[in-house]
Amino acid sequence: MQMPAPSLPRDMSTAALAAAKGQTAVVSGGSRGLGATVVRRLLRQGWNVATFSRSGPPDVAASDIGVDAGELDERLFWHPADMASADQLREFATLSIERFGRIDLLVNNAGMLVEGLLAMTGESDIERLIAVNLTGPILLTKACVKAMMRHRRGAVINISSINSVRGHQGVSIYTASKAGLDGFTRSMARELGPLNIRVNSIVPGFFATDLVASLNESRRDRIARRTPLHRLSDVEQVADAVMFLASDASAFITGQTLIVDGGYTC
């Protein structure tokens, strides 16, 4: 009896590999968490990936993505940059284009959280949070879409937060920055749609991040009980949404906010 062919690992289907070959993705904050997962998934699917962070390059092994070390070095570019620095963002975009010749996808993933009541939040914290979560993504989008315009094709994915949908005490500035990012998404979809460039945002629920890991068990259980699916997400499920919006399967989707929260905000 003929045995069925073994299935390929996640994101390594023949069609996905063929579609992504030669395309370049820019991922901000690609050294850890969701950003690092997205970097690995894109590389595994055949994309060239340019990423930056302040903390160091992503921990990606050639064996993780099914290539040799030489090919990984060719297809992965990391450069130190601060999301709050306009000059560093412009430099990174320029270096990425020089390295790969094009940009087809931007994932605005980098972000930061400052917790505390507004009256007790310092002005420097407010300014940096807005710079990292809103101004930085706007400036990076501006730099990257210029390259997309030359090919009249591309996609921008902004990573937002459930705080942009439902308010929570103690995160008002963070909420404002993410709500602004969602509004930016919708306006840019109108602006770039005629150039065949799609712009969407993803609102993740609570998933396995350093922030959630810092919560005590009773708090995590309470969040899970409030979620209709009665569980928290994992980072791969959020990355699934990124990969969907980056793919041709979402070719007619733009200006949308995709909520991936197990029903927490419904």
Q: How far apart are CA 61 and CA 35, in angstroms?
A: 16
Burial class (CB in 10 A: 0-12, 13-18, 19+), 209: middle
Active site residue 264: no
Q: How far apart are CA 255 and CA 186, in angstroms?
A: 4
Count each helix (H run) and each strand (E run) in the chain, helices first: 11, 7
Q: How far apart are CA 93 and CA 227, in angstroms?
A: 39
Continuous H helices in the chain: 14-20, 33-44, 62-65, 69-75, 86-100, 123-130, 136-151, 172-192, 210-213, 217-226, 235-246
> Tokens representing 177?
């920055």
Give the residue carrying structure tokens 């350093």: 210
Say if residues 190 and 179 touch (Cβ distance below 8 Å). Answer: no
DSSP code at position 83: T
> Tokens representing 145?
């879409």
Handedness of CA 72, 73, 76, 80 (dihedral sign): positive
Q: At 20, give phi and psi (nearest 5°).
A: -90, -15
The active-site residue, picked from 174, 206, 207, 264, is 174
> Tokens representing 10?
């996640």
Nearest CA-CA partner of 133 in 175, 177, 169: 177
Active site residues: 174
